[in-house]
Amino acid sequence: MTKRELFQFDFPALRAQREAPPAGAVPKSAAERGAKRWFDFVGGDRSSVRPRQTTVNLKRRLAVVLMILALAGAALIVRAIDLQWVSKDFYLDQGDQRYVRDLKIDAPRGTIFDRNGNPLAVSTPVASIWADPSTLKDHMDRIPELAKALGVDANALAQKITQRADKQFVYLVRHLDPDRADAILKLGIPGVDKQPEFRRFYPNGEVTAHILGKTDIDDRGSEGLELAFNEYLTGKPGSKSVIRDLHGRAVESYDVDLDVPPKPGQDLTLSIDKNIQYLAYRALMQAIKDHRAVYGSIVVLDVTNGEILAMVNQPSFNPNAQNGGNIPSADLLSHMRNRAATDVVEPGSTMKAVTIAAALESGKWKPDSKVDTNPGTWQHYDHIVHDHRNVGLLTVTGVITHSSNVGAAKIGASLSRDQMWDMFHRFGFGETTGSGFTGESPGNLPIAKRWGPVEQDTISYGYGLSVTPLQLARAYAAFANGGVLHTPTFVKGGGDEGKRVVDKKIADEVVAMLRTVIAPDSTAPKAAVPNYYAGGKTGTSHIAANGGYRNVYNSVFVGFVPATNPRLVAAIVISGATGTDIVQYMGGTVAAPAFSQVMQGALRLLDVPPDNVKNWYTGGPGPDPLAAPLQQPLDPANDPSIVGEIESADP
């Protein structure tokens, strides 16, 4: 086959030309014989169609056709390159915009549990309804319907929409129940949609309000442990890209490598025991009501590891409500403060235990060393130390039992100020406890250099320094724990191994002294816990205000049970108790009953076996046979009726 033959197209005209018979030849073809061929009809009248006899330059024609084809091919290739290479990103992007969607995967905030797994703070899904005013403003006729569903005033809503007509987003109502939100969306009002969100609920409300704090409207921690553990609790929302079909259903993963898995917030298990927390809260409410007090705190610690079992304050607030539950905004801060950790009080006589620990450590004093407190006052430099009554010649134990300021001051005066400061500092005063609570106060312990003899006297019996209830509980836990001080913690299992602050022998001696306090003829008979031995110390202090002391008192009790093998320590501070008589402000009157009440319940809840079984059947608290021997005051003037007559008493 030659090249020429290859391109020999069998056009009828060409063939006719090629096969044209010499003139005069007998027509042989079908056409010549009159037969009709398919193209004969195209031209209509057969007679008018004549085969053209033009000469065709086949080569040129071929070249032109080939050129056109080549151009077309080139154009196709250029276009292909353009599509596949140059503008590839643009088209891919356009395609993705139509089919690929990023789905957000929610990651809720972690739940906070108490030590027994009861939820204290839970995030649940809610829906916020939002509107696009630029769309909604064209459907103002449906506003009343929408307002009714939302439960708001129609005029106000209409105004809100008109004012923001140029905006694209406005929240109509936030944090609705998901079912209610769906009902609103079912109305099908254009420009109204929902946004899934999470809201924090606190099932125990105001009982746990101060410790947990709260979250803001966007579910970020803003107070308390919610703030302190915000990082830990917060979840990171993930996302995944999917290809959607016509109906908007996700049909395929776009690129698994691009997907971001959500990181749900981690759950936090606190050391708090919900039931003890409730007991403490109820006891605190009761004490404040009974003594017409203003505010107060209770802290309960586990002696063995420093875990905080309960921490309650009054006044409280409802963390589930926006404004804390109808609290005037001026008072809100006062209601929301976790006083047990952030507020300081002068600890009063409760500090005598620390003074005496310092005295025992100095070697100058033994538990049965004598100290003369006659005649119930002591002039030291220009300061007069008062006792609430003259308790005469006491042992060191008796100073604790009868809470003698004179005795404590005299013992303190025999020590160097550095010795005393060191002991106070070792028990954690003047420093934050390290519990990690945001805004915790370090209290105030003046440095030893600033102590004059009078300051040293007052600090010996707990004035001139300030502590938080948490610090107080912690220090007494160290005594009860044989001299090992733990860092208090809010997290279950988060306690440290503790550090020894005082010799076990000294701690045990102080514990024995503190056990004499809870006896029928001592300062805190009302702190007795039936069937258990207990130890503790009362304290009463004026509330410092405007540079002086007003006639408003802090009533303090801090103690531990069971005294033979301490498990729990509680510090109770109640402020502003009203009464006409000093007895009505005293720690032994106001705070001690709350101690008894909380501890009875807590010991039962924790299944702590009773250690005072001897008194079991009689039901009442008996004398504690293991307590240090009571030193009866030598002065016969221990008539209780004189108690109220001494103005600046400080038991």
Partner 1 sequence: MKGWMNAARMIGYFVILVLLAGVIGCAFGVVYTRQESRRLFTEYNELSKERDRLNYEFGRLELERATKAEINGIEKVARGDLGMISPSPANTVVIKR
Q: Which of 87, 168, 253, 286 binds partner 1 (CB under 8 A)?
A: 253
Q: Which of 58, 83, 86, 251 binds partner 1 (CB under 8 A)?
A: 251
Say if residue 12 is preceded by a cis peptide, omega within 30 of 0.
no
Residue partners of 1: CB distance under 8 A and separation at least 6: none
| 278 lies in the site for partner 1, by CB under 8 A | yes
The stretch near partner 1 (CB under 8 A) out of 249-257, 563-571, 585-593, 627-635 is: 249-257
| 333 lies in the site for partner 1, by CB under 8 A | no
Which CB atom, from 365 or from 532, has the smaller least distance to partner 1? Answer: 532
| 119 lies in the site for partner 1, by CB under 8 A | yes
Measured in degrees and rounded to the nearest 5, phi and psi for residue 182 equal: -65, -35
Distance from C-alpha of 143 to C-alpha of 154, rounded to nearest angstrom: 6
Helix (H, G, I), strand (E, B) or coil at 451: coil
| 84 lies in the site for partner 1, by CB under 8 A | no
Please report how close the Cβ of residue 228 comes to partner 1 at its closest, in angstroms: 22
| 525 lies in the site for partner 1, by CB under 8 A | no
| 321 lies in the site for partner 1, by CB under 8 A | no
- Continuous H helices in 101-142: 133-136
Smallest Cα–Cα separation from 309: which of 223, 208, 209?
208
| 118 lies in the site for partner 1, by CB under 8 A | yes
| 238 lies in the site for partner 1, by CB under 8 A | no
Site string for partner 1, 346-375 (x = CB under 8 A): ------------------------------
Which CB atom, from 280 or from 385, has the smaller least distance to partner 1? Answer: 280
Smallest Cα–Cα separation from 101: which of 262, 237, 251, 236?
251
Q: Which of 21, 144, 203, 237 binds partner 1 (CB under 8 A)?
A: 203
| 531 lies in the site for partner 1, by CB under 8 A | yes
- Continuous H helices in 168-306: 178-185, 209-212, 224-228, 230-233, 274-290
Rounded alpha-carbon distances, angstroms, from residue 444 to 341, 429, 440, 460: 13, 7, 12, 15
DSSP track, 31-74 = TTTT---GGGTTTSSGGG---------HHHHHHHHHHHHHHHHH
With CB under 8 A as the rule, give the number of residues binding partner 1.
33
Smallest Cα–Cα separation from 576: which of 220, 217, 292, 187?
292
| 255 lies in the site for partner 1, by CB under 8 A | no
| 252 lies in the site for partner 1, by CB under 8 A | yes
The stretch near partner 1 (CB under 8 A) out of 270-278, 394-402, 509-517, 561-569 is: 270-278
Please report how close the Cβ of residue 212 comes to partner 1 at its closest, in angstroms: 13
The stretch near partner 1 (CB under 8 A) out of 159-167, 586-594, 618-626, 632-640 is: 618-626
| 124 lies in the site for partner 1, by CB under 8 A | yes
Rounded alpha-carbon distances, angstroms, from residue 197 to 129, 149, 213: 10, 20, 20
The stretch near partner 1 (CB under 8 A) out of 155-163, 198-206, 307-315, 362-370 is: 198-206
| 275 lies in the site for partner 1, by CB under 8 A | yes
Q: Which of 3, 50, 249, 450 binds partner 1 (CB under 8 A)?
A: 249
| 250 lies in the site for partner 1, by CB under 8 A | yes
Q: Which of 204, 313, 540, 631 binds partner 1 (CB under 8 A)?
A: 204
Please report how close the Cβ of residue 253 comes to partner 1 at its closest, in angstroms: 6
| 390 lies in the site for partner 1, by CB under 8 A | no
Residues shown for the chain:
651
The set of catalytic residues is 349
Neighbours of 486 (CB within 10 A): 24
Return the amino acid letter for 35: A
Return the amino acid letter for 443: G
Q: Which of 100, 112, 123, 463 binds partner 1 (CB under 8 A)?
A: 123
Report the chain's C-alpha Rg in angstroms: 45
Report yes or no: 393 and 401 within 8 Å, Cβ to Cβ: no
Distance from C-alpha of 112 to C-alpha of 115, rounded to nearest angstrom: 10
Report yes or no: 90 and 134 within 8 Å, Cβ to Cβ: no
| 613 lies in the site for partner 1, by CB under 8 A | yes
**For residue 54, what are its two tokens?**
């033009």
| 151 lies in the site for partner 1, by CB under 8 A | no
Smallest Cα–Cα separation from 109: which of 120, 118, 94?
120
Distance from C-alpha of 195 to C-alpha of 128, rounded to nearest angstrom: 5
Smallest Cα–Cα separation from 314: which of 181, 435, 207, 471?
207
The stretch near partner 1 (CB under 8 A) out of 105-113, 161-169, 384-392, 563-571 is: 105-113
The stretch near partner 1 (CB under 8 A) out of 49-57, 201-209, 324-332, 428-436 is: 201-209
| 247 lies in the site for partner 1, by CB under 8 A | no
Interface with partner 1 (CB under 8 A): 106, 108, 111, 118-119, 122-125, 201, 203-204, 242, 249-253, 274-275, 278, 282, 530-531, 604, 610, 613, 615-620
